[in-house]
Amino acid sequence: MMRAIVLLHRWLGIAFCLLFAMWFATGIVMHFVPFPSLTEGERFAGLVPLASAETGLAVADAVAASGIADATRVRLIQRSDGPVYVVAGPSRANAVRASDGADASVKSFDAALAIARDHARSRGLDAARAAIVARSDYDQWSVPNGFDRHRPLFRVGLGDAAGTEVYVSSLTGEIVLDTTRSERGWNLVGSVLHWIYPTILRSNWSLWDRVVWTLSLLALIAALLGAVLGLARIKPRGGLIGSPYRGWHALHHLIGLAAMVFVLSWIFSGWLSMDHGRLFSRGQLTSTESSVMNAPPNWTAARSLDRQPVSPSVHETEWFAFNGTLYRRDRTDLAAQTLIKAGDAPRDGPTGSLDVHEVQGLTARLAAGCGVPSVLADNDNYPAQSTVPGAPVYRSYCGDLWFDIDGADGNLLQRLDSSRRAYRWFYGALHTLDFPVLVAHPLLRDGLVVGLCALGFLFSITGIVIGSRRLVARR
């Protein structure tokens, strides 16, 4: 048995030592430079006021013109080519012109370039030398599945000092992603390597999922076998832990013992990042819950909301249904909005959100035994944040099932059953060290992440040296 463990660890180690080193090194990069995305702050900063928007079309008519029978949300934005309604359902989105309901998808390079320039200027970015770079379904930075409803994408290079590129949805004409030269460079030696994320592989999600899950599992087996051997080969010396090996083998043994708990927990949790429902639940709504949460509303009820005046400082207006009632939210700033309920007068004050009773009414339909929702604390063990800074997130406890709902727009942020709560610790906490006590002390957390990953990298280097010597000796 021990001989079989030695042989398996040796050859799995030789096969995966470079991958181990890469994972630890790129993990440090990823901690400081995440994969490129368009933040909500950046998206909103790129919007212009709706003051001059001419909307001859009612919201209900816009939904009908879009062809999306299961539409759940509608937004009104001002584009460079005029105001448009963006109509969204659970699986797709379309844009129609607010003046006459005509198709507002982006078909020409000139239209995409004009939209990108307006967005950049609104954000204070230099767009004087903006130009179309490509129109494609996938590239290295647009492979995540969340962009599927916007493909193909127009990629526009702004030509500014930061090397900014923005991506325009061909279906809605919205900016859905931006990257800078620095982000792209760091991510090539960070996320792309760490996630084994080349475009040709990641564009096929199912294949990528199987490949990375299998590689991670084999790497975990190699680490577990090494831990067994490392513990079995301990040779006490003067009351201290010693090693029977010499040179690089001794370094590999002793550093491995020192880093064993971290290496095992990190590789294990990294493997769990590819779980995708294999061992733990995915946190998705059941079909019954989804029929309640995403029920298409009666859009003709929006006519009472259409009659409410829109402030000239509003940058985006959204209509959505929550618990069978239509709402309109007018966003004047990233952290400021007014929420209007169909049939009611506009709420007082510069901000507005769903109240606890409205949330309780919905969650009572989602599951049995739900108590009165509570506002989530900033330091909660299972954190969730609203898209609007300062807006409440409501958590409803329905027995063993928890629902977190954004008070700003009624979206479900988290569905947490016992399996999903366990996953938060086995994956999130172990892999990113986002334990609440460390999140409260970011410098300490940064130091631990860098130090532990550096120790893992050093351990991997000893494995590379030993493995390369073994291969040379067999020639």
Is 50 exceeded by the pLDDT of residue 347?
Answer: no
Whether residue 462 sits in one domain with residue 386: no
Which of 136-140, 308-312, 468-472 comes out lowest in average pLDDT? 308-312
DSSP-assigned letter for residue 247: H
Q: Does 150 reside within a domain?
A: yes
Structure confidence by residue, pLDDT tens digits, 193-213: 999 999 999 999 999 999 999
Rounded to the nearest integer, the mean pLDDT of the chain is 94
H-helix or E-strand spanning residue 223: helix 205-232
Quote the domain boundaries for residue 337.
287-416
Which of these, 250, 251, 270, lies nearest to 262 by C-alpha position? Answer: 270
pLDDT, residue 349, reads: 38
Last residue of a domain, one of 180, 204, 238: 180
Instruction: For residue 68, name the pLDDT band (cuts at 50, 70, 90).
Output: very high
Residue 425 lies in a domain: no
Domain end residue (candidates: 120, 155, 180):
180
pLDDT in tens, 288-326: 999 999 999 999 989 888 878 888 899 999 999 999 899
Q: Are residues 239 and 317 in the same domain?
A: no
Q: Is the pLDDT of residue 348 over 50?
A: no
Same domain, residue pair 292 and 261:
no
Domain match, 47 and 172 both: yes
The pLDDT, as a whole number, for residue 345 is 54
- Give me the count of residues in the chain: 475
Mean pLDDT of 347-351: 43
Q: What is the helix, strand, coil percentage profile of the chain, to 5? A: 45, 20, 35
Number of domains in the chain: 3
Residues 205, 303 within the same domain = no
Which of 10-19, 52-61, 137-146, 156-165 has the weakest average pLDDT? 52-61
Q: How crowded is residue 222: how many other Cβ atoms within 10 Å of its Cβ?
A: 24
Residue 350 pLDDT exceeds 60: no
In Å, what is the CA distance from 325 to each residue of 26, 57, 86, 261? 47, 21, 20, 52
Phi and psi at 185, nearest 5°, equal: -65, -50
Q: Indicate the pLDDT class of residue 53, thresholds 50, 70 and 90.
A: low
Q: Are residues 148 and 215 in the same domain?
A: no
Same domain, 350 and 375: yes
Of 127, 150, 180, which marks where a domain is finished?
Answer: 180
Report the C-alpha gap between 373 and 362 in whole angstroms.
11
Q: Is residue 134 over pLDDT 60?
A: yes
Residues in CB range of 257: below 8 A, 6 or more apart: 230, 231, 234, 241
